[in-house]
Amino acid sequence: NAGVTQTPKFRILKIGQSMTLQCTQDMNHNYMYWYRQDPGMGLKLIYYSVGAGITDKGEVPNGYNVSRSTTEDFPLRLELAAPSQTSVYFCASSYSRAGSTDTQYFGPGTRLTVL
């Protein structure tokens, strides 16, 4: 199992450009998440998905979009990049069902700089 994989590892964008951060998991997890980590801060939830075709906003969704067409993939889209979106982005997944506590598995992260 590769676990959770993310591409690219690093990216520099100019203000106003768009890009998609890719995330794939091979553990057949139903839940997937996108977080951002700003320097000296904890992780903040951007969007999450409880299954294919279902997504919901987290704490900081503005400026981002997601889709979940398959169980494995959960891409994060930035349409008009802004300097405030400079951050490290982590994708995570878990297998969740009612009443159970499930570990979230994290990818290695994508470091994005917007200039």
Partner 1 sequence: GDSVTQMEGPVTLSEEAFLTINCTYTATGYPSLFWYVQYPGEGLQLLLKATKADDKGSNKGFEATYRKETTSFHLEKGSVQVSDSAVYFCALRLSEKLVFGKGTKLTVNP
**Which residues of this protein are in contact with partner 1, per CB under 8 A?**
4, 31, 33, 40-45, 48, 50, 58, 90, 92, 94, 96, 101, 103-109
Shortest reach from residue 58's CB to partner 1, in Å: 7
Distances (CA, A) of 70 to 25, 54, 86: 10, 10, 28
Tokens of 111: 């470091």
Task: Give residue 68's identity as a one-letter amino acid code.
Answer: R
Shortest reach from residue 68's CB to partner 1, in Å: 14
Which residue, 38 or 79, has its beta carbon nearer to partner 1? 38
Report the Cα 8 to chain-centroid distance in Å.
12
Quote the CA–CA distance of 63 and 75 in Å, as a whole number: 14
Shortest reach from residue 75's CB to partner 1, in Å: 17
Which residue, 3 or 16, has its beta carbon nearer to partner 1? 3
Quote the CA–CA distance of 79 and 71 in Å, as a whole number: 23
Shortest reach from residue 8's CB to partner 1, in Å: 15
Question: The dihedral of CA 10, 16, 17, 20: what is its sign?
Answer: positive
Which residue, 44 or 77, has its beta carbon nearer to partner 1? 44
Which residue, 17 or 44, has its beta carbon nearer to partner 1? 44
